[in-house]
C-alpha cells in the first residue's frame, strides 16, 4: 500500500533509495510496467479507524501479489464534494476507484453516474446482513455499496445518578428534572439542541418522513412544529439542559464525563472517550413517546463504494475484502463500530460488549437514513433557519420551519436543474 499523504506505510524514503528501487522494479516488471494501475482508495475516516484501514489494505496487498493500493485520507467536511469534482474533471482520471462513504450520499452519486451498482459483487446473501443496513444502501432497486457498519444516536446515562431509566417520555422528563441543579452546574440532559441530526428522534416521533415520495421536503407539518416546540421546552420549560445549549456537543460530552449530567444524547463514536474517562455509564433506548412509539433515531450506514472509473475485478475484490466479517469484527472491538453482518453478533467477545449491543437494540426501532438525492438540501435549512433562530427566540416554530421548508424547496430546485446539465 502506498499512502499518498504520508509516504509508503507511514515512512518517508530517501530520494536516492527510491530511484534505485524504481530501477530494480522496472527491470523486474512492476504492476505499472505491466499496465496494472494501482487502486485509488479514498477515505474520510480518521484516528484509529484510519489506522485499521491502513492495516487492512496492507493485508489485502499481501494476499494479492503485484497489486498496490494508494490510500488517500481527506477531511470529512469536504469529502463528498471532492469526490464529485475529481470524478467529473477530465473523465475522473484523478478520482478514486473505491471510496468509503455514507448511505445518504447514494442517491446524489447514483443520479450523477459517479458510482456503480454492485448487485453482481460476490457477497453474502441479503439475509446475512441486518435488514436495515442492507436496504439502506439500495437505490431504485439496486445495491450501490457494501455496508460495513452503522450508527445512530441513543441515550447515555450516568449509572451513579440513574438507577433505572424510565421508558415513557413524560417520566423521563421528570427523572431529568429531579437530577437538575443549576446552582451546582448539574443537568438532567445535555446535547447540542441546534443539531437536526440529534433532534431527529423527536421530529420523526409521529412517523412522518423528512421527504415525500416525490423527493419534496416535508419540514413544516403540524407534528414537526409540535416536536420542535418540545425541543425548546427542554431549555425553557423543563429547564433540564444548560441555558443556550446550542452548538456545544463537545461541552455536553465534557459535562457528562465529569459527572455533571445524568443523560446525554450521542452515538457510538462517543464510547471510546467515555471508556477512557472511567465514568460509569450505560446506553439504552430513547424514551417511548406519547403515541406509544419509541423515539426513532436516523440510522446512517458506513459503506464502501465503487466508481465507474474503478470498475475492474481487483477493485471489486478490495471492496469484498474490506467488508468481510473479520474486518467488521475488528472495527467493532477497537472503534465501537456497530457491524452490519448478523454473524458477528454470535461472537463471544461481541456478546459481552453491552454498549455495542445497546446501540444495536436502539437501531431496531430506528429509521434508515433516506438515500434520496434531495436529502442533503434539508440539513442546513433545518439548522440555520429553524433550530437556531427558534431557540434564540427570533421566530416562532411555525415561522422557523416554514423558512426551512422554503429554503429546502429552493435548494432542491437548483439541484434538479444542476442534474440536467451534469
Please tell me whether residues 235 and 382 are part of one structural domain.
Answer: yes
Please tell me whether residues 137 and 63 are part of one structural domain.
Answer: yes
Tens-digit pLDDT profile for residues 199-254: 999 989 888 899 999 999 999 999 999 999 999 999 999 999 998 655 589 999 99
| Long-range contact pairs involving 265-268 (C-beta distance under 8 Å, separation at least 24) | 265/153, 265/154, 265/155, 265/156, 265/189, 265/190, 265/191, 265/198, 266/153, 266/154, 266/156, 266/191, 267/151, 267/152, 267/153, 267/154, 267/359, 268/151, 268/336, 268/337, 268/338, 268/355, 268/356, 268/359
Q: For residue 94, what pLDDT is reported?
A: 79
Overall number of domains in the chain: 2
Extract the C-alpha cell encoding 319: 471492496
Q: For residue 127, what pLDDT is reported?
A: 84
CB 332 within 8 A of CB 346: no
Q: CB count, 10 Å around CB of 357?
A: 15
Nearest to 143 by CA among 301, 336, 16, 362: 301
Burial bucket for residue 17 (CB in 10 Å: 0-12, 13-18, 19+): exposed
| Long-range contact pairs involving 16-22 (C-beta distance under 8 Å, separation at least 24) | none
Using DSSP's 3-state secondary structure scheme, residue 5 falls into coil
Rounded to whole angstroms, the Cα distance separating 132 from 342 reads 11
DSSP assignment, residue 289?
P
Please tell me whether residues 93 and 10 are part of one structural domain.
Answer: yes
Q: CB count, 10 Å around CB of 92?
A: 18
Please tell me whether residues 326 and 400 are part of one structural domain.
Answer: no
Please tell me whether residues 121 and 178 are part of one structural domain.
Answer: no
Q: For residue 376, what pLDDT is reported?
A: 86
Burial bucket for residue 365 (CB in 10 Å: 0-12, 13-18, 19+): middle
Please tell me whether residues 332 and 345 are part of one structural domain.
Answer: yes
Please tell me whether residues 79 and 140 are part of one structural domain.
Answer: yes
Tens-digit pLDDT profile for residues 364-393: 999 999 999 999 899 999 989 999 899 989
Rounded to whole angstroms, the Cα distance separating 402 from 400 reads 5
Mark the ranges of the chain whose per-residue pLDDT is less than 70. Answer: 1-35, 89-93, 122-124, 244-247
Q: CB count, 10 Å around CB of 230?
A: 18
Beta bridge partners of 156: 264, 283
Parallel, antiparallel, or unpaired for β 154-158 and 142-143?
A: unpaired
Of the CA atoms within 13 Å of residue 300, those in its CB half-sphere come to 17
Beta bridge partners of 88: none
CATH number of domain containing 31: 3.40.190.10
Task: Name the domain boundary from 346, 368, 390.
Answer: 368
Please tell me whether residues 233 and 332 are part of one structural domain.
Answer: no
Residue range of the domain that includes 320:
2-151+299-368
Rounded to whole angstroms, the Cα distance separating 273 from 284 reads 18
Please tell me whether residues 140 and 64 are part of one structural domain.
Answer: yes
Please tell me whether residues 108 and 208 are part of one structural domain.
Answer: no
Extract the C-alpha cell encoding 85: 469534482
Q: For residue 246, what pLDDT is reported?
A: 57
Nearest to 6 by CA among 71, 55, 99: 71
Please tell me whether residues 273 and 402 are part of one structural domain.
Answer: yes
Rounded to whole angstroms, the Cα distance separating 5 from 115 reads 24
Please tell me whether residues 249 and 186 are part of one structural domain.
Answer: yes
Instruction: Give this prediction's pTM.
Output: 0.85
Task: Name the domain boundary from 345, 368, 391.
Answer: 368
Q: For residue 206, what pLDDT is reported?
A: 84
Amino acid at each position: 500500500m502506498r499512502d499518498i499523504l504520508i509516504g509508503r506505510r507511514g515512512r518517508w524514503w530517501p530520494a536516492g533509495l527510491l530511484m534505485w528501487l524504481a530501477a530494480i522494479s522496472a527491470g523486474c516488471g512492476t504492476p505499472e510496467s505491466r499496465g496494472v494501475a494501482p487502486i485509488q482508495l479514498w477515505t474520510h475516516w480518521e484516528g484509529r479507524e484510519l489506522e485499521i484501514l491502513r492495516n487492512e489494505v496492507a493485508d489485502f496487498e499481501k494476499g494479492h501479489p503485484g497489486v498496490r493500493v494508494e490510500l488517500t485520507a481527506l477531511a470529512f467536511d469536504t469529502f463528498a464534494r471532492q469526490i464529485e469534482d475529481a470524478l467529473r474533471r477530465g473523465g475522473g482520471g484523478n478520482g478514486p476507484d473505491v471510496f468509503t462513504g455514507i448511505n445518504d450520499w447514494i442517491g446524489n452519486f447514483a443520479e450523477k453516474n459517479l458510482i456503480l451498482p454492485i448487485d453482481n459483487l460476490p457477497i453474502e446473501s441479503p439475509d446475512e446482513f441486518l435488514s436495515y443496513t442492507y436496504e439502506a444502501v439500495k437505490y431504485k432497486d439496486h445495491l450501490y455499496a457494501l455496508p460495513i457498519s452503522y450508527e445512530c444516536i441513543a441515550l447515555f446515562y450516568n449509572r451513579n445518578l440513574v438507577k433505572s431509566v424510565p421508558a415513557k417520555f413524560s417520566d423521563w422528563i421528570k427523572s431529568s428534572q429531579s437530577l437538575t441543579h443549576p446552582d451546582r452546574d448539574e443537568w438532567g440532559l445535555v446535547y447540542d439542541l441546534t443539531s437536526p441530526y440529534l433532534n431527529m428522534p423527536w421530529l420523526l416521533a409521529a412517523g412522518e418522513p423528512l421527504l415525500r415520495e416525490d423527493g419534496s421536503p416535508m419540514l413544516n407539518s403540524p407534528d414537526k412544529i409540535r416536536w420542535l416546540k418540545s425541543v425548546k421546552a427542554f431549555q425553557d420549560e423543563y429547564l433540564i439542559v444548560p441555558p443556550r445549549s446550542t452548538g456545544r456537543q463537545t461541552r455536553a460530552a465534557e459535562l457528562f464525563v465529569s459527572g455533571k449530567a445524568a443523560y446525554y444524547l450521542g452515538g457510538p463514536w462517543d464510547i471510546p472517550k467515555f471508556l477512557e474517562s472511567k465514568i460509569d455509564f450505560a446506553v439504552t433506548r430513547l424514551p417511548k413517546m406519547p403515541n406509544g412509539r419509541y423515539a426513532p433515531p436516523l440510522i446512517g450506514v458506513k459503506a464502501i463504494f465503487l466508481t465507474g472509473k474503478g470498475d475492474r475485478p481487483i477493485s471489486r475484490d478490495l471492496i469484498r475484502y474490506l467488508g468481510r466479517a473479520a474486518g467488521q469484527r475488528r472495527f467493532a472491538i477497537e472503534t465501537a463500530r456497530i457491524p452490519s453482518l448478523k454473524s458477528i453478533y454470535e461472537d463471544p467477545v461481541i456478546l459481552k460488549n453491552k454498549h455495542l449491543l445497546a446501540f444495536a437494540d436502539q437501531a431496531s426501532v430506528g429509521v434508515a437514513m433516506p438515500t434520496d438525492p434531495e436529502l442533503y438540501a434539508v440539513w442546513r435549512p433545518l439548522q440555520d433557519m429553524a433550530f437556531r433562530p427558534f431557540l434564540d427566540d427570533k421566530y416562532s416554530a411555525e415561522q422557523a420551519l416554514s423558512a426551512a421548508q422554503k429554503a429546502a424547496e429552493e435548494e432542491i430546485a437548483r439541484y434538479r436543474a444542476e442534474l440536467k446539465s451534469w
